[in-house]
Amino acid sequence: MSERRQDYKRHGSRYKARMRAVDILFEAESRDVDPVAIIDDRHKLARDINPIVAPVAEYTETIINGVAVELDTLDVFLAEHIAETWTLGRLPSVDRAILRVASWEMIYNAEIPVTTAIVEAVEIASEYSGDSSSAYINATLDAMASKVDTLRERAANPEAVSVETDELDGGPVAPWDDSELDDVETEAEEAADVAEDAEVSTETVESEGSAEKSEEV
Protein backbone atom coordinates (compact mmCIF):
# COMPACT_ATOMS: atom_id res chain seq x y z
CA MET A 1 0.00 0.00 0.00
CA SER A 2 1.74 3.15 -1.15
CA GLU A 3 2.21 6.08 1.21
CA ARG A 4 -0.97 8.02 1.70
CA ARG A 5 -1.08 11.38 0.02
CA GLN A 6 -0.87 14.32 2.38
CA ASP A 7 -2.92 16.72 0.26
CA TYR A 8 -6.27 14.95 0.43
CA LYS A 9 -9.32 16.96 1.29
CA ARG A 10 -11.12 16.85 4.63
CA HIS A 11 -13.60 14.00 4.88
CA GLY A 12 -16.41 13.05 7.23
CA SER A 13 -16.74 10.14 9.64
CA ARG A 14 -18.25 7.81 7.01
CA TYR A 15 -15.23 8.26 4.76
CA LYS A 16 -12.86 7.50 7.64
CA ALA A 17 -14.95 4.46 8.51
CA ARG A 18 -14.68 3.21 4.92
CA MET A 19 -10.94 3.76 4.91
CA ARG A 20 -10.48 1.81 8.12
CA ALA A 21 -12.66 -0.97 6.73
CA VAL A 22 -10.30 -1.15 3.74
CA ASP A 23 -7.34 -1.32 6.13
CA ILE A 24 -8.90 -4.18 8.08
CA LEU A 25 -9.93 -6.16 4.98
CA PHE A 26 -6.44 -5.73 3.57
CA GLU A 27 -4.90 -6.91 6.83
CA ALA A 28 -7.26 -9.88 7.04
CA GLU A 29 -6.34 -11.04 3.56
CA SER A 30 -2.62 -10.47 4.15
CA ARG A 31 -2.70 -12.50 7.37
CA ASP A 32 -5.33 -14.98 6.13
CA VAL A 33 -7.60 -14.34 9.11
CA ASP A 34 -11.27 -13.50 9.58
CA PRO A 35 -11.79 -9.70 9.38
CA VAL A 36 -14.51 -10.00 12.04
CA ALA A 37 -11.89 -11.45 14.41
CA ILE A 38 -9.70 -8.40 13.76
CA ILE A 39 -12.61 -6.17 14.75
CA ASP A 40 -12.94 -8.11 18.00
CA ASP A 41 -9.22 -7.68 18.66
CA ARG A 42 -9.47 -3.94 18.03
CA HIS A 43 -12.32 -3.65 20.52
CA LYS A 44 -10.23 -5.38 23.19
CA LEU A 45 -7.16 -3.23 22.52
CA ALA A 46 -9.25 -0.05 22.54
CA ARG A 47 -10.66 -0.95 25.97
CA ASP A 48 -7.24 -1.24 27.60
CA ILE A 49 -6.31 1.24 30.32
CA ASN A 50 -3.73 2.69 27.96
CA PRO A 51 -5.24 1.90 24.55
CA ILE A 52 -2.78 1.55 21.69
CA VAL A 53 -5.38 1.54 18.90
CA ALA A 54 -8.33 3.80 18.18
CA PRO A 55 -11.84 2.47 18.80
CA VAL A 56 -13.52 0.94 15.75
CA ALA A 57 -16.31 3.12 14.39
CA GLU A 58 -19.76 1.56 14.27
CA TYR A 59 -19.97 1.98 10.50
CA THR A 60 -16.59 0.34 10.00
CA GLU A 61 -17.87 -2.68 11.90
CA THR A 62 -21.09 -2.66 9.86
CA ILE A 63 -19.09 -2.75 6.62
CA ILE A 64 -16.76 -5.50 7.80
CA ASN A 65 -19.61 -7.69 9.03
CA GLY A 66 -21.52 -7.11 5.79
CA VAL A 67 -18.58 -7.88 3.52
CA ALA A 68 -17.69 -10.98 5.54
CA VAL A 69 -21.22 -12.37 5.17
CA GLU A 70 -21.69 -11.46 1.50
CA LEU A 71 -18.10 -11.94 0.28
CA ASP A 72 -18.83 -14.73 -2.20
CA THR A 73 -21.67 -12.82 -3.86
CA LEU A 74 -19.68 -9.58 -3.97
CA ASP A 75 -16.73 -11.33 -5.60
CA VAL A 76 -18.99 -12.87 -8.22
CA PHE A 77 -20.43 -9.48 -9.14
CA LEU A 78 -17.00 -7.85 -9.18
CA ALA A 79 -15.60 -10.62 -11.36
CA GLU A 80 -18.41 -10.02 -13.84
CA HIS A 81 -17.68 -6.31 -14.17
CA ILE A 82 -13.93 -5.84 -14.10
CA ALA A 83 -12.13 -5.32 -17.39
CA GLU A 84 -11.76 -8.45 -19.51
CA THR A 85 -7.97 -8.11 -19.37
CA TRP A 86 -7.83 -8.67 -15.61
CA THR A 87 -9.43 -10.89 -12.99
CA LEU A 88 -10.34 -10.19 -9.39
CA GLY A 89 -7.87 -12.64 -7.91
CA ARG A 90 -4.95 -11.01 -9.71
CA LEU A 91 -5.60 -7.45 -8.59
CA PRO A 92 -3.55 -5.90 -5.79
CA SER A 93 -5.13 -6.88 -2.47
CA VAL A 94 -5.77 -3.27 -1.48
CA ASP A 95 -7.78 -2.76 -4.67
CA ARG A 96 -9.87 -5.83 -3.86
CA ALA A 97 -10.56 -4.41 -0.41
CA ILE A 98 -11.67 -1.06 -1.84
CA LEU A 99 -13.90 -2.74 -4.43
CA ARG A 100 -15.49 -4.99 -1.81
CA VAL A 101 -16.29 -2.09 0.51
CA ALA A 102 -17.83 0.00 -2.27
CA SER A 103 -19.76 -2.85 -3.87
CA TRP A 104 -21.20 -3.88 -0.50
CA GLU A 105 -22.46 -0.32 0.02
CA MET A 106 -23.92 -0.16 -3.48
CA ILE A 107 -25.77 -3.45 -3.24
CA TYR A 108 -26.57 -3.97 0.43
CA ASN A 109 -26.79 -0.50 1.99
CA ALA A 110 -29.58 1.40 0.28
CA GLU A 111 -29.15 4.44 2.53
CA ILE A 112 -25.82 5.23 0.84
CA PRO A 113 -26.20 6.84 -2.61
CA VAL A 114 -24.48 4.75 -5.26
CA THR A 115 -22.59 7.81 -6.49
CA THR A 116 -21.24 8.45 -3.01
CA ALA A 117 -19.97 4.89 -2.68
CA ILE A 118 -18.16 5.20 -6.00
CA VAL A 119 -16.68 8.66 -5.42
CA GLU A 120 -15.36 7.75 -1.98
CA ALA A 121 -13.90 4.46 -3.26
CA VAL A 122 -12.04 6.29 -6.02
CA GLU A 123 -10.74 8.83 -3.49
CA ILE A 124 -9.47 6.07 -1.20
CA ALA A 125 -7.84 4.37 -4.17
CA SER A 126 -6.08 7.62 -5.11
CA GLU A 127 -4.59 7.77 -1.61
CA TYR A 128 -3.61 4.12 -1.36
CA SER A 129 -2.77 2.98 -4.88
CA GLY A 130 -2.54 5.73 -7.50
CA ASP A 131 -4.14 6.98 -10.70
CA SER A 132 -4.16 3.66 -12.58
CA SER A 133 -5.92 1.93 -9.74
CA SER A 134 -8.39 4.79 -9.28
CA ALA A 135 -9.40 4.74 -12.94
CA TYR A 136 -9.79 0.98 -12.93
CA ILE A 137 -11.89 0.96 -9.76
CA ASN A 138 -14.02 3.81 -11.08
CA ALA A 139 -14.74 1.96 -14.33
CA THR A 140 -15.60 -1.28 -12.51
CA LEU A 141 -17.98 0.37 -10.06
CA ASP A 142 -19.58 2.48 -12.80
CA ALA A 143 -20.31 -0.71 -14.73
CA MET A 144 -21.97 -2.18 -11.64
CA ALA A 145 -23.92 1.03 -10.99
CA SER A 146 -25.48 0.85 -14.45
CA LYS A 147 -27.28 -2.35 -13.42
CA VAL A 148 -27.37 -1.98 -9.64
CA ASP A 149 -31.10 -2.79 -9.40
CA THR A 150 -30.54 -6.11 -11.15
CA LEU A 151 -27.56 -6.88 -8.91
CA ARG A 152 -29.64 -6.15 -5.81
CA GLU A 153 -32.34 -8.52 -7.02
CA ARG A 154 -29.77 -11.23 -7.64
CA ALA A 155 -28.17 -10.62 -4.25
CA ALA A 156 -31.54 -11.23 -2.63
CA ASN A 157 -31.44 -14.73 -4.13
CA PRO A 158 -27.86 -15.91 -3.45
CA GLU A 159 -28.61 -19.47 -4.59
CA ALA A 160 -28.81 -18.10 -8.11
CA VAL A 161 -25.33 -16.55 -7.89
CA SER A 162 -22.44 -18.75 -8.99
CA VAL A 163 -19.12 -18.38 -10.77
CA GLU A 164 -16.27 -20.58 -11.88
CA THR A 165 -13.20 -20.34 -9.64
CA ASP A 166 -10.87 -19.48 -12.52
CA GLU A 167 -12.97 -16.41 -13.28
CA LEU A 168 -11.78 -15.02 -9.97
CA ASP A 169 -8.19 -16.27 -9.85
CA GLY A 170 -6.94 -16.70 -13.40
CA GLY A 171 -5.45 -14.18 -15.79
CA PRO A 172 -2.44 -11.86 -15.66
CA VAL A 173 -1.43 -9.66 -12.77
CA ALA A 174 -2.61 -6.06 -13.02
CA PRO A 175 0.03 -3.62 -14.34
CA TRP A 176 0.05 -1.83 -10.99
CA ASP A 177 0.99 -4.08 -8.11
CA ASP A 178 1.17 -4.03 -4.35
CA SER A 179 4.88 -4.83 -4.03
CA GLU A 180 5.26 -1.84 -1.73
CA LEU A 181 2.71 -3.32 0.65
CA ASP A 182 5.38 -5.40 2.37
CA ASP A 183 6.81 -2.19 3.78
CA VAL A 184 3.56 -1.07 5.36
CA GLU A 185 2.70 -1.96 8.94
CA THR A 186 -0.84 -3.01 9.72
CA GLU A 187 -2.66 -1.60 12.72
CA ALA A 188 -1.92 -4.77 14.66
CA GLU A 189 1.80 -4.55 13.90
CA GLU A 190 1.81 -0.88 14.85
CA ALA A 191 0.11 -1.71 18.14
CA ALA A 192 2.65 -4.45 18.82
CA ASP A 193 5.49 -2.05 18.03
CA VAL A 194 4.10 0.52 20.44
CA ALA A 195 3.84 -2.08 23.18
CA GLU A 196 7.33 -3.36 22.45
CA ASP A 197 8.77 0.15 22.52
CA ALA A 198 7.11 0.72 25.88
CA GLU A 199 8.66 -2.47 27.26
CA VAL A 200 12.10 -1.55 25.91
CA SER A 201 11.79 1.91 27.43
CA THR A 202 10.88 0.42 30.81
CA GLU A 203 13.75 -2.04 30.66
CA THR A 204 16.16 0.77 29.78
CA VAL A 205 15.03 2.86 32.74
CA GLU A 206 15.33 -0.09 35.11
CA SER A 207 18.76 -0.95 33.71
CA GLU A 208 19.99 2.61 34.11
CA GLY A 209 18.63 2.69 37.64
CA SER A 210 20.45 -0.51 38.52
CA ALA A 211 23.66 0.83 37.04
CA GLU A 212 23.40 3.99 39.11
CA LYS A 213 22.85 1.98 42.30
CA SER A 214 25.87 -0.18 41.48
CA GLU A 215 28.05 2.89 41.03
CA GLU A 216 26.84 4.28 44.37
CA VAL A 217 27.77 1.02 46.11
Tell me if 193 is assigned to some domain: no
Does 4 reside within a domain? Answer: no
Q: Is residue 147 part of a domain?
A: yes
**Confidence category of residue 107, pLDDT binned at 50, 70, 90:** very high
Q: Among residues 84, 110, 88, 113, which one has the least CA distance to residue 99?
A: 88
Decide if pLDDT at 13 tops 70: yes
85 lies in some domain: yes
Enclosing domain of residue 57: 13-184
Tell me the CATH number at 26. 1.10.940.10
> Is residue 101 domain-resident?
yes
Q: pTM of the full predicted structure?
A: 0.72
Mean residue pLDDT of the chain comes to 78
Residue 74 lies inside a defined structural domain of this protein: yes
Q: Is 195 part of any domain?
A: no
What does the buried/exposed string (b/e) look like for 68-88 if buried means 16 or more CB atoms within 10 Å of the residue's CB?
bebeebbbbbbbbbbeeebbb
Does a structural domain hold residue 169? Answer: yes
Taking only the tens place, the pLDDT of each residue in 53-94 is 888 999 999 999 999 999 999 999 999 998 766 788 888 999
Number of domains in the chain: 1
> Which pLDDT value is given to residue 215?
45
